[in-house]
Amino acid sequence: MELLKETVSSKKTNQKFVLLEGLCNSQKLSNANDQLELRFMDEIFSIESIFGEVKAVIGLQFAQELEYIRETDIEYEKFDPKPVEAVKPPKGEGEDEEDEEPPAEEEGEKPAKKFDPSEFQWTKTNKKSKNLPQLFQGMKGINTLHECKEAANFGANHAAQTAECLDQFCGRLQDSDNSDKYLYQQVIFKH
């Protein structure tokens, strides 16, 4: 990141955007265990802390990634049932009231309720990290446009497809109609 920061600061003139290629692409690593070492959230936060806000991401890839997590894939934590508290019988006549403990709080103050995680719904991650489209959409919210396009729509061979899809992508970023939106585009190439 320091090398990128130095390079961009030495080469940047009056450009509005910085195009970084090759970051956040752990899927290209040959070993699945190596892929877990890169964390997309750390990568994006690091990029934003050095260069500024990430407005758009383009993924040139061989397989589409979902921008949402399917409801069937979500696992929730299950908690043991709460133990039932014993109910004190009401005081009868003639029973000694001196055995009662005085209230700890002054009148008017309500005791702080103890946090109970079972009152909320918690998801299990089980080392299943979010993919980049899911993370980006979650970070940027409802103003995120997600698109998936076939590379064949951009030209006849991989080089022409890559150049044309990047040209169109960068053109859309400079369009004033998209200034308040975030864009995530996946371009799927055939093997």
Mean pLDDT in the chain? 77
pLDDT band at 23 (very low <50, low <70, confident <90, very high): low
Would the pLDDT of 138 be above 70? Answer: yes
- pLDDT tens readout for residues 174-187: 876 667 789 999 99
pLDDT of the residue at 186: 92
DSSP assignment of 100-119 equals SPPPSSPTTPPPPPPP-GGG
Q: Measuring CA to CA, how many Å separate 56 from each of 23, 59, 108, 128?
A: 13, 10, 53, 24
Q: Choose from 43-47, 125-129, 169-173 the range with maximum mean pLDDT.
A: 169-173
pLDDT of the residue at 118: 83
Model pTM score = 0.63
- pLDDT tens readout for residues 88-125: 666 666 555 555 555 555 666 777 888 888 888 887 77
Compute the average pLDDT of residues 118-141: 81
Q: Give me the residue spans of the domains in the chain.
A: 2-69+122-188
pLDDT of the residue at 112: 80
Distance CA 69, CA 66 (A): 7
Tell how strand 182-188 and strand 144-150 pair up: parallel
Distance CA 189, CA 171 (A): 21
